[in-house]
Amino acid sequence: MAADRSELALAPPQVIAVSKQQPEEKIRAALEIGHRHFGENKVQEAQKHWAALKSQYAGVTLHLIGPLQSNKAEDAVALFDVIHTVDRPKIADAIAAACIKQHKIIPCFIQINTGEEEQKAGVSPDGAAALIDYCRHVAKLPIIGLMCIPPADANPAPHFALLHKLATKHGLKELSMGMSADYETAARFGSTYVRIGTGIFGSRS
C-alpha cells in the first residue's frame, strides 16, 4: 500500500466510505461485511438513512464531510460522530453550542482551502492559525486535525504536503485528505482518513 512506502505515513489511513446519494441496499451491503466508517455531505440527506441504520448496526462512526450551515448544527451534532468541515468561527460557535446543549463531544477537523478557490469552502492557509486558535481557546472545540479538497485540475501532492505541514506546525495528528482518484498520493503524505465514494460504491446513478 502507498502508506507503507512513505516516511510521512505512520499507519494506513482509515477508509471513510462516502455514502452520499447511494441507495440503502449498497450501504447495508457495506455494513454487513463489517465496514463502520461512513461519510455524508448533507445533514438532511444523511438523516434519511442513518437515523435508522445507526440504531441497527453497532459501532458506526458517521463523518460529516460536506459544508455545514450554522442552522443545521444541532441536527449535525445529534447524528454525526465527527465533523470534518469547520471553516469559520460562526460554525465553530454553532457546533460548540449544540454540543453543550446535547451533552456531546464531537471531534472536529478544520477545512483548509489549500487552493484558495473562491467557490470552495474552507479557511485559507494564511487564516488557519487564527481559526485553530479560536476553535481551541474560544469555542473550545476538540480540534483533532485538518481536512482539504485539492482543486480538481491540480496535482494534489503539493496540497497534501501543505496540509501535512500545517498540521505538524499546530500539533494536530489527523489528516482528512484523499478521495477515490488520489487516495494513494494522500496516503504517501500521511493521510489518516481517506474519503472514498466511487471506489467503493461505484458511480452514483
Q: What is the per-residue pLDDT for 4? A: 46
Residue 184 one-letter amino acid: E
- Contact, 121 vs 113, CB < 8 A? yes
The total of other beta-carbon atoms located within 10 Å of residue 1's CB is: 11
- Assess whether pLDDT exceeds 90 at residue 8: no
Number of domains the chain contains = 1
Which is it for strands 61-64 and 82-86: parallel, antiparallel or unpaired?
parallel
Domain extent, residue 94, equals: 2-201
- The CA distances from residue 142 to 36, 42, 149, in Å, are 22, 22, 21
Give me the DSSP letters along 81-109. Answer: SEEEEE-SHHHHHHHHHHHHHHT----EE
As a whole number of angstroms, the distance between CA 15 and CA 13 comes to: 6
Residue 12 pLDDT class (50, 70, 90 cuts): confident
Average pLDDT rounded to a whole number, residues 90-112: 98
CATH of the domain at 144: 3.20.20.10
pLDDT tier for residue 10 given thresholds of 50, 70 and 90: low
The rounded mean pLDDT for the chain is: 93
Structure confidence at residue 179 (pLDDT)? 93
Cell numbers at residue 182, please?
488520489
Whose CA is closest to 76, among 38, 47, 112, 113?
47
CA pair distance 154, 175, nearest whole angstrom: 19
pLDDT reading at 129 higher than 50: yes
Rg (CA), the chain: 16
- Calculate the alpha carbon distances from 77 to 17, 38, 196 in Å: 20, 15, 23
- Sequence-distant (6+) residues with CB within 8 A of 34 are none
The whole-angstrom separation of Cα 38 and Cα 55 is 14
Is 158 or 1 the better-scoring residue by pLDDT? 158
> How confident is the model at residue 202, as a pLDDT?
80
Q: For residues 63, 68, 70 and 74, what is the CA-based torsion angle, rounded to 10 degrees? A: -30
pLDDT at 11: 75
Asked whether residue 121 carries a pLDDT value surpassing 50, the answer given is: yes
The length of the chain in residues reads 205
pLDDT of residue 205: 62
Find residue 62's DSSP bridge partners: 38
